[in-house]
Structure 1
């Protein structure tokens, strides 16, 4: 936004949208938010991607690599956190016994999932795979002075930054951990 870009973000509720707008009042014109309460619903992001010209995960990854190349010559290694979803090929099913390697890729592109009747998770995975491919292409064409290491974790969790007033407002990873610890 500071660089003149318009940014469209996705939030889960109007309450969150209000909080974000209050946190960034100087970007009232550049920041738009779309409320998507159920990100697992098919076509949940339909409105959010209308008119979007670049996928944030892909463009964001390239922007950070380019910035490091131009402004941080002391950096020797960059760790890119992708997702296990970038390696999943939905046509293979659960693929029992398969050992995943760097040769495994999710074949869907971000452009395909935006224009097809796919789930939000499929769009997320395609975006992660696209960002990872873009990072590898960047490394091959720009030959920066650092190494790139990509990790594809199946799950990421950590401490909650802000405690919420109710369980209904926990983020997905925290809710899953809560469910594991809760009595049946």
Structure 2
């Protein structure tokens, strides 16, 4: 089933004449679905990645319908100034998805692995945009991490909107969140310093759904794989987060690109969900998987002690466990006519795709 059959193209996408679009970080989880949707819409895609010559890392892209005729891959590095110039030449739009997504980072490596690639990478991409006269709009993948840090920081009943900025994160506390905040803020500074191109920003939270490639290092794939591997039983953290289907995220980027009224930031969250609920969805949808929902909540104090060994940093335990942030997603629906799909479908389709790709085999 093609992406647009479950997530059909919006009228603005259908009406837009074929053009050339630069997508950065095409081997990433989100970018793959964006490329698939752009190709289905008839556009030509200039995709950037570190190693386009490695066929095994891009085969899921080069095998997409339309890729042979309308997908061209370019080598580019976030920290290398000017490396995006060639890919952007002749492009009308740039969709910038390339940025590190790593929650557990050694404190000594935060700047090298998170902050520099996110911030300097954004600067390098947008400086290339400034040198490319054909570009009229940039759609940036940011995150709800730029919007909030601790769900109680504005009061326990606060509902987050596009007006909010994360006041909690810093280089030493929730550094991934901080990387998304400073990168997006810098993007707005650079956008406001010129008048030729416009900036639109997508702010998704945890992204679920079917991966296109066999990569297993993504945080979204890891969350599902941990459940399939039995790590949510008999106990798991009381961990709530905003959630959205990867195909919705791709559709939001492409719609924002094509829609003349798209402006500012957009909270791109279907609804909030608890990790334990994800386990229940998988257990019910795949009864032969062997997945068992958690019986009780893992104590927060215990998680603080053992979390780092399991890939859950202590600052995440402190500021995320026991909470569930809530988001207002009405702006994108009101301004762009966007419709979100059920989170349950994203979770179930993720499992089915991971089984098909061999990332996590379901039991017979």
1:1-184 correspondence to structure 2 within 5 Å = 39-40=103-104, 44-49=105-110, 55-71=116-132, 73-90=133-150, 92-93=152-153, 95-108=155-168, 112-113=170-171, 116=172, 118=173, 122-141=174-193, 143-163=194-214, 169=216, 171-178=218-225, 179=227, 180=278, 181-182=282-283, 183-184=291-292
Flag the 1:98–1:49 CA change in 2: closer, same or farther, 3 A: closer
**1:46 CA displacement:** 2.2
Q: Distance in 1 between matches of 2:166 and 2:154?
A: 13
**1:49 CA displacement:** 4.2
Q: Distance in 2 between matches of 1:50 and 1:152?
A: 22
Normalising by structure 1, report the TM-score. 0.57
**1:101 CA displacement:** 2.5
2:160 partner SS: coil
- Residues 84, 152 of structure 1: 8 Å contact kept: yes
**1:51 CA displacement:** 7.6
- Residues 103, 176 of structure 2: 8 Å contact kept: no
**1:108 CA displacement:** 4.8
Cα deviation per residue 1:60-109 (whole Å; 9 max; x = unaligned)? Answer: 111111101202x2222111111101100438348554332232111256
- Residues 86, 125 of structure 1: 8 Å contact kept: yes
Flag the 1:102–1:74 CA change in 2: closer, same or farther, 3 A: same
Which has a greater percent of strand?
Answer: 2
Cα deviation per residue 1:12-44 (whole Å; 9 max; x = unaligned)? Answer: xxxxxxxx9xx7xxxxxxxxxxxxxx954xxx4
Question: Structure 1 stretches of 5 or more lacking a match?
Answer: 1-19, 24-37
Q: Distance in 2 between matches of 1:47 and 1:90?
A: 23
Normalising by structure 2, report the TM-score. 0.31
* Paired residue total: 131
**1:56 CA displacement:** 1.3
C-alpha RMSD over aligned residues: 3.2
Question: Structure 2 stretches of 5 or more lacking a match?
Answer: 1-50, 55-101, 228-277, 284-290, 293-364
